[in-house]
Amino acid sequence: MGSLKNALQLTPEEDEDACMYAMQLASASILPMTLKAAIELDLLETLVRAGPGAQLSTADVVAQLPTENPQAAVMVDRMLRLLAAYNVVSCTVGTDADGNPSRKYGAAPACKYLTKNEDGVSMAALALMNQDKILMESWYYLKDAVLDGGIPFNKAYGMTAFEYYGADARFNKVFNEGMRNHSTIITKKLVDIYRGFEGVKVLVDVGGGIGATLYMITAKHPHIRGINFDLPHVISEAPPYPGVEHVGGDMFASVPSGDAIFMKGVFNIDLIMLAHNPGGKERTDKEFEGLAKEAGFSGFKASYIFANTWHIGGDMFASVPSGDAILMKWILHDWSDELCVKILRNCWKALPEKGRVILVECVLPVVPEPTGRRRGVFDLDVVMMVQNPGGKERTETEFEGLARDAGFSGFNAAYIYANAWIIELTK
């Protein structure tokens, strides 16, 4: 211990700062758990509803809660005071009638993304998901996984995360809401910034859930015919969207034909490969049934929904069709290098010369600098380690290595927004 003290050679001020920082780290769970409770109590929504620049007393805030607890105002004040210390909310201090300090609170910039926007989504759902007791339990097994091997989540529950989500209806809803809210916010920025959809005629979203993401794209680019593909039980809950076709199936190596394939973060399916087919066309239900039989479907069902929107359920195991563009959004970070190369090689086979794979991923910085933006990627990397077998975030060089191993000759990476990058691989 003495040698360490001498090696660090801290000044008295640095020594106190180091001690305070260590104490903060030791209490790091306090902030996210307080934020979780504040979200569940709608405290931030209450502050935002008050309007720009408004400052509310805790009595004003608590008056909107369904409680008769006489200590509620004091408790809420202490919670908001902590959140103000982290710039989650703003705080002004005055004096009450007795001359005592009196605090009022308002919305801070972070509230823009922690309260529902015009699309009805926010990062609050992600906070509730990450701090849910189900995911929190897996962190208690991180040490054991390091020493004994295995995946912390699997050790906690005796099954993979994918399997667990299907067995726990409550948490499955929490998880899906977290993913939907995050994806909607980031996809909206992607659609505004990225120009790669402009030449696409048919866009297939693999693992597209209920189709909300695809509808955002087709609304921005109305010339695109959208095909939304996911598991049958997911598609059964999909609402009709003009210009969007819902297709249900269980895929391992194939997707419906289209001018482009869109793929976002998928956590409830196994290995995913996607392809782009410039020969896409409208078909009768008999033609679809014929295709299904030729591809090995065991069952077929088609029903008309609304304005060019179709739900098609089946069981699909076929090869990757040829095409000239493939888009994957937060797919590769779920898988090991070996499986990523396998996915990309199948994509390479499906592409013509100069064809492209377009990835949407985080890019891991080489140097772990202590900035908020960089910390976010390192946070996500450890989340992948705790929850997904082989999953991890990667550096730009590591992505380039995967591309090269899969046979791609061109590579380009560009930052988009909030740690999301566009990575283009050219055959």
Give the residue numbers marked as catalytic: 333, 361, 393
Beta bridge partners of 203: 226, 260
Give the three-class secondary structure for 225.
Answer: strand
> Tokens 């989500």 label which residue?
165
Q: Confirm if 124 and 79 have CB atoms less than 8 A apart.
A: no
31 with 82: CB under 8 angstroms?
Answer: yes
CA dist 355 and 349 (Å) reads 10
Distances (CA, A) of 276 to 46, 219, 340, 414: 46, 21, 18, 22
Phi/psi for 350 (5° steps) reads -85, -10
Taking a C-beta distance cutoff of 8 angstroms, is the pair 315, 297 a contact?
yes
The strand pair at 225-230 and 301-306 is best described as: unpaired
DSSP secondary structure, 364-426, as one string = --SS--S-HHHHHHHHHHHHHHHHSTT---B-HHHHHHHHHHTT--EEEEEEEETTEEEEEEE
Q: What tokens were used for 399?
A: 């992505």
Give me the sign of the Cα torsion angle 132, 134, 137, 139.
negative
